[in-house]
């Protein structure tokens, strides 16, 4: 007779806490909760509540290459005022950091990690369009070389790491297709988007990126991919035209969530490099004008606005195909 031990080489273990990481098909007995459990793979991505920001904000920048347990956000609008504050997330709670942006601003963009990030563009407190770029070392912000063209409405439009990234589109004012490439020292103007847009959602690295939707100024469903030299319009389009989304991932495995059609939405889309699909599970809170970070299997979106007020809540994403703990019952 085939047994669990015969298949796996060991018996079902009795443990005081659930194991991590999980392997699909793994079975164990949790002797603290008196339950048999199974690692079963999800068939669709899910959102769960994370920790709240200390200060609700929309239009902030974020460390897009960060992880679900290590990310920062900075700047943003607090309502009548603009912020310079930086907050850091450890996977459960946010901490306000002593290092603040040198220029308070909202509608800015950024990329990088929790300890090596870049912030650029946006609007300052008197609505002056910003070209200023700042570099973060995990403790403090330093002003470095500016964008060639100041722009705003770019919260999710940048992608990359602190030493190599891309910004595409934006509001000048006036809709822009301009793309700039960052090499760790300075910005260089490169080939433009095929469709001018702002508040487009992007993901990837300096040599392989993707951008979705945005405002043209009417809402767009267009998708374009970046190969390090030029943009190509994809034959695939978003199922519903949307702008102001949060986004994260790579050129071939990305997530875009939330956004603005004519109202705030919580819809989540998955991109596989060729086609885009609607995930069955939406954000718990419909929202727009927000950053995201992480990968298609493990990410998060942060803050934003529902159209009536700024939000502080974080939602954490677990993508499809990831082992999840299931309690074994007789039902």
Structural domains in the chain, CATH included, are: 4-41 (no CATH), 46-318 (2.120.10.80)
pTM: 0.87
What 3 state SS string does the chain have?
A: CCCHHHHHCCCCEEECCCCCCCCCCCEEEECCCCEEEEEEECCCCEEEECCCCCCCCECCEECCCCECCEEEEECCECCCCECCCEEEECCCCEEECCCCCCCCCECCEEEECCCCEEEECCECCCCCECCCEEEECCCCEEEECCCCCCCECCCCCEEEECCEEEEEEEECCCEEEEEEEECCCCEEEECCCCCCCECCEEEEECCEEEEECCECCCECCEEEEECCCCEEEEEEECCCCCECCEEEECCCCEEEECCECCCECCCEEEECCCCEEECCCCCCCCCECCCEEEECCEEEEECCECCCCECCCEEEEECCCCEEEEECCCC
Query: What per-residue confidence (pLDDT) applies to 86?
Result: 97
Query: What per-residue confidence (pLDDT) applies to 24?
Result: 67
Integer Cα distance of 144 and 118 in angstroms: 10
Query: What per-residue confidence (pLDDT) applies to 330?
Result: 67
Q: Which two tokens stand for residue 331?
A: 């039902």
Decide if 179 contacts 154 (C-beta within 8 A): no
Query: What per-residue confidence (pLDDT) applies to 213?
Result: 98
Decide if 298 contacts 318 (C-beta within 8 A): yes
What are the mean pLDDT values of the chain's consecutive 10-residue runs (331 residues total)? 56 82 78 81 88 96 95 92 95 95 96 97 89 97 98 97 98 96 98 98 98 97 98 97 97 97 97 95 97 95 96 95 75 56
Q: Which residue's entry shows tokens 């650029």? A: 120
Decide if 47 contacts 267 (C-beta within 8 A): no
Decide if 26 contacts 37 (C-beta within 8 A): no
Integer Cα distance of 211 and 251 in angstroms: 9
Integer Cα distance of 259 and 287 in angstroms: 6
Query: What per-residue confidence (pLDDT) applies to 9?
Result: 55
């Amino acid at each position: 007779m085939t047994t669990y031990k015969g298949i796996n080489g060991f018996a079902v273990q009795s443990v005081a806490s659930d194991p991590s990481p999980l392997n699909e098909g793994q079975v164990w007995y949790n002797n603290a909760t008196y339950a048999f459990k199974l690692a079963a793979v999800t068939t669709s991505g899910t959102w769960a509540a994370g920790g709240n920001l200390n200060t609700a904000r929309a239009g902030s920048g974020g460390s897009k290459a960060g992880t679900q347990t290590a990310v920062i956000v900075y700047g943003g609008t607090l309502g009548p005022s603009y912020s310079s504050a930086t907050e850091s997330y450890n996977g459960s709670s946010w901490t306000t950091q002593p290092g603040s942006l040198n220029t308070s601003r909202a509608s800015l963009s950024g990329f990088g990690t929790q300890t090596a990030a870049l912030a650029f563009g946006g609007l300052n407190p008197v609505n002056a369009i910003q070209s200023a770029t700042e570099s973060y070392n995990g403790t403090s912000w330093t002003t470095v070389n500016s964008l060639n063209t100041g722009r705003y409405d770019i919260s999710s439009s940048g992608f990359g790491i602190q030493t190599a990234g891309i910004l595409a589109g934006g509001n000048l004012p006036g809709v822009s297709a301009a793309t700039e490439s960052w090499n760790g020292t300075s910005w260089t103007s490169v080939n433009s988007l095929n469709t001018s847009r702002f508040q487009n959602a992007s993901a990837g690295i300096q040599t392989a990126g993707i951008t979705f939707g945005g405002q043209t100024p009417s809402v767009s469903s267009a998708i374009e991919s970046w190969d390090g030299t030029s943009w190509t319009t994809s034959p695939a389009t978003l199922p519903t035209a949307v702008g102001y989304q949060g986004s994260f991932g790579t050129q071939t495995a990305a997530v875009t969530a939330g956004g603005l059609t004519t109202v705030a939405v919580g819809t989540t889309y998955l991109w596989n490099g060729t086609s885009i699909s609607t995930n069955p599970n939406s954000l718990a809170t419909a929202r727009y004008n927000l950053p995201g970070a992480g990968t298609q299997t493990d990410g998060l979106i942060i803050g934003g606005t529902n159209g009536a007020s700024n939000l502080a809540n974080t939602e954490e994403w677990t993508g499809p195909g990831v082992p999840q703990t299931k309690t074994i019952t007789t039902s």
